[in-house]
Structure 1
Amino acid sequence: MMTASSTDPVSPVLAEVVRSGFVEGRHRGSLVILAADGSIEHALGDPSLPVFPRSSNKPMQAAALLRAGLDLSGERLALASASHSGEEFQRALVRTMLDEYGLRESDLQCPADLPLDPVEAEGYLAAGHGRERVTMNCSGKHTAMLAVCALNGWPTDSYLDPSHPLQRLILTVVEEAAGERVAAVGTDGCGAPLMAISLVGLARAFRTFVLAPEGAPERRVADAMRAHPEYVAGTRRPDTWLMRALPGTLSKMGAEAVQALALPDGRALAFKIDDGAVRVLGPVLARTLERMGVESPVLARLADAPLLGGEAKVGEIRATV
């Protein structure tokens, strides 16, 4: 097991928190950019060290479901790859999928939760609702996992056990896509097994998905996510903005400030903010895409991370990559 120590190298600063012209905080991390041929074009920190990609692993989990015979496409496959916001249209499709496969909400082993999107959560609570498993951002993935277990006659009560046939298949898919062995297996926030790979491997996996042959499980997942990004994230989420504004782009964030992305020509990036500050993802992602030569108004939207003093803007989070 890998643990941090006082002798570990200090990661470079990827973003600064600037208030009233004063740098009051710094966020460190590691980052890698792959060229179209898959070679490392630019790196900061040590992107060869393993990290938990958290929900950035979801495309690989979804590809494993297809390999195991689950016939998903369109919005349903996008939702199986999602960290959804808990918006009404997403909750409705999860419930529809549960009904289609003869499942109940109580079969889901993800925790009950509120909508991930703060705006949606306010309205949800105001309407008198409480935490539900369907509302949890990983409920689409868990529904699809249960469905493929039922299809193959695999146990459904232990589908989150790392030794379960489904989870062993997911580990194989992760390793194949990343081009490296999984360094560690942990437990994600939703209770599912979580495979650690390097940032280089994570970027390589996203590159694998966008360049996969048409009809391959990896390509089917990428195509569904890119065609239906609102089901992957939500109407107010950066992954959705990016996949809508940059056609052919595959983008997926993960908890603890992980981001992976591949452009349709095979260029890819992945980064991890050491302290897990998700607020830094937009500015760092926008600056990295600029470095890669991407031009789009969506980059300004991503980079906009103001700091407020009262109700006025007095500073910002700015990328230093």
Structure 2
Amino acid sequence: MPSPMFSAAHEAHRALPGHVPLVTATRDGLVESVHYGSAIAISADGATMASAGEPLAPFYPRSSLKPLQAVAMLRAGLVLPMDLLALAAASHSGAARHRDGALRILEMHSLTQGSLENSTDLPYGTTEREDWLRDGGAASQLTQNCSGKHAAMAATCVINGWPVQGYLAPDHPLQQLVAETIIDLTGEEPLAVSTDGCGTPLFALTLRGMARAFGRIARAAAVDDGTPEAAVGLAMMQHPDMVAGEGRDVTTLMRLLPGAVAKDGFEGIQLVGLADGSAVAVKISDGGDRARMPATTTLLGSLGVDTAPLAAIAGSPVLGGGHQVGALQATDFLTRAAPPVAGHPKTPEPAQSKPVNEAP
């Protein structure tokens, strides 16, 4: 039987979003595949600088919510070393340092692996998964990519005297605070609530709202204003390997683009906040992970970011017989007139997107 939350979300928004072609894969000059989606770039004051598709359609941000959840935990009094704070905002690859980090968070607060309530899984990273299986490992809560966040959630409960057992319940004090923090950072009331893959409550928001939150986090970190937002942003910037892992594009992006706070999410989601408070957000409609970065780098270029250093992750070659015969690359979605976008509850209509004459 579907859960009540599932039924509510289904009734709340049945219409298909007005996604547009964002990324193509070509083979010898022929378009072989097309990834549709929606995207937005905003300025520091929240104005829409560029958009495509339907950026105000509600969507589930999935793991891109983790930095916002980490802000909520710091507001509740959680204190962690910077590397472990980055892990609390991570979808980690499951390397030894990630697993050990989650254990350190638990041990610092007299907790054990039995305190974790996330789902079980093998390490997310390909190399990390192969190494883990080679050593006889099996799927566990510790190796699941959200274990750092869940260890931090359990620790936050200990600090506040809240029940650790049941910390994922939507009416638990921790999750109530998380919901309030997400509303504050995004400036939006969620249209629907569901459950993420790891078990945490999941809120339907807009790309613009999420971009607003990431811009706030990155700008706070840039001025180091002492807020929880600044702490989370700085931790992610200083320890990008803990946010994702070696070989992951999010880690690479933060290394190549100083001052950026970046986080991906399952089902083709990418958020990037910049030091001046501007930000970009991308949702790939088919969930295709490979299409995130071509669209993201194009959006960053629309904000005046020099994307040349990001060339290695901005696209990828299409191979035939071991040789390049095509490429995965962004379309000219920013040069097209953007269609009107529907409003979102409690948010004003965005300014119409201005055509951008050049895209990286």
Question: TM-score band (shorter)?
Answer: over 0.9
CA distance in 2, matches of 1:123, 1:311: 26
- AA aligned to 2:184 is E
Tell me if the contact between 1:262 and 1:268 (Cα under 8 Å) persists in the aligned partners: yes
Q: For 1:1-321, what aligned pairs fall within 5 Å after superposition?
A: 1=9, 2-5=12-15, 8=16, 10-212=18-220, 214-320=225-331, 321=333
Paired with 2:14 and 2:103, the residues of 1 have a C-alpha distance of 42
Aligned residues of 1:257 and 1:272 also touching (Cα < 8 A): yes
For 2:238 and 2:246, the matched residues in 1 are separated by 14
Distance in 2 of aligned mates of 1:82 and 1:152: 23
Alpha-carbon deviations, 1:67-122, whole Å to 9, x = none?
A: 11111231011010111111111111112222221211122111221111112212
Give per-residue Cα distances to partners, 1:238-268, cap 9 Å, x unaligned.
1111111111111111110111111101111
Shift in alpha-carbon separation, 1:162–1:253, aligned structure 2, 3 A: same
SS of equivalent residue, structure 2 residue 251: helix
Q: Deviations 1:122-164 (Å, cap 9, x if unpaired)? A: 2221222111211111000000000111111211111001111
Q: Which amino acid aligns with 1:149?
A: C
TM-superposed deviation, 1:22: 1.6
CA distance in 2, matches of 1:296, 1:43: 18
- Answer yes or no: is the 8 Å Cα contact 2:300–2:307 preserved in 1: no
Q: 1:282·1:305 contact (CA, 8 Å) conserved in 2?
A: no
Residue type at the aligned position of 1:273: I
- Give TM-score scaled by structure 1 length: 0.95
Q: Secondary structure at the match of 1:27?
A: strand
Tell me if structure 1 keeps the 8 A contact 2:210–2:271: yes
Could you tell me how far apart the structure 2 residues matched to 1:143 and 1:104 are?
9
Distance in 2, Cα, partners of 1:46 & 1:109: 35
CA contact (8 A) 2:74 2:228 kept: yes
**Higher deviation after alignment, 115-124 or 162-171:** 115-124
Q: Quick one: which amino acid aligns to residue 36 of structure 2?
A: R
For residue 326 of structure 2, give the secondary structure of its aligned residue in structure 1.
Answer: strand
SS at match of 1:142: helix
Distance in 1, matches of 2:130 and 2:216, equals 38
Q: In 2 relative to 1, CA 62–318 (structure 1 residues): closer, same or farther, beyond 3 Å?
A: same
Q: Deviations over 1:158-186 (max 9, x none)?
A: 10011111001001000000011111111
Cα drift, residue 296 of structure 1: 4.5
User: Is contact 2:50–2:302 with CA below 8 Å preserved after alignment?
Assistant: no
Moved more, 301-310 or 22-31: 301-310
Q: How far did residue 219 of structure 1 move?
A: 1.1
Change (3 A) 1:305 1:180: same
Counterparts of 1:299 and 1:306, CA distance in 2: 15
Give the total of aligned pairs.
319
**Structure 1 portions without partners, runs of 5+:** none
Tell me the distance in 1 between the aligned counterparts of 2:279 and 2:163.
37
State percent identity of aligned pairs.
Answer: 44
Partners of 2:79 and 2:303 in 1: CA distance: 36
Give how far 1:297 is off: 4.2
Q: Which runs of 5+ in 2 are unaligned?
A: 1-8, 334-360
Structure 2 Cα separation of the partners of residues 246 and 286 of structure 1? 11
